[in-house]
Amino acid sequence: MDFNNLIQTVLVYALPVLFAITIHEAAHGYVARHFGDNTAYMLGRVTLNPIKHIDPVGTILMPLMLYFATSGAFLFGYAKPVPVDFGRLRHPKRDMVWVALAGPVSNFLQAILWALLFTLLVGMGLNERFFLDMAKAGVLVNLVMWAFNLFPLPPLDGGRVVVGLLPPRQAYAFSRIEPWGFFIVMGLVLAGIVSSLWLSPLISIGYKVLGFILTPLNFLLN
């Protein structure tokens, strides 16, 4: 493993990853507070301070170990989940959907902003590779987080959306998967199923949507 290449990769991805996980988790807490649950706010988790959201193992150690173990081919990590007491939401079943969607939506909005930055840098002729690479990393990181967290299995956000949309009996049965959901998802990830059948198609759609959104700006700059 090229140590210099590792350092360069860490520097390029550090800021996009910190923004991605911090705003993702803060968005959950903010929307939960909006709908009546102050749990995250009272614990200081509705904040843009990344230290409050970083998990030493999931955010730092695991990604680095996977980077070395797979030569950068596979990366995975997680932040400390924002605590939400769904029972305190004004309309628990309905509001659960909005709380769950807040994180992935925040990531897609960040992907738009990073894509906008990349387009402006290129359009103005600022060809500093480090910043261009960081902007591209910001788009990729946020699209991956957006797509991955929408996977429809608890405890991921997509799973909570499904629970919120299903009729009560089916929602209860589906929610009972949650204690094993993480291990099921990891198994599907390692088997390549999540990547081929979920992540790749959604990320491809995400890039097409970004291209459509930025079409007017590209037209003006060119």
178 is catalytic: no
For the chain, the maximum distance between any two Cα atoms, rounded to a whole number of angstroms, is 58
Catalytic residue from among 18, 24, 25, 146: 25
Annotated catalytic sites, by residue? 25
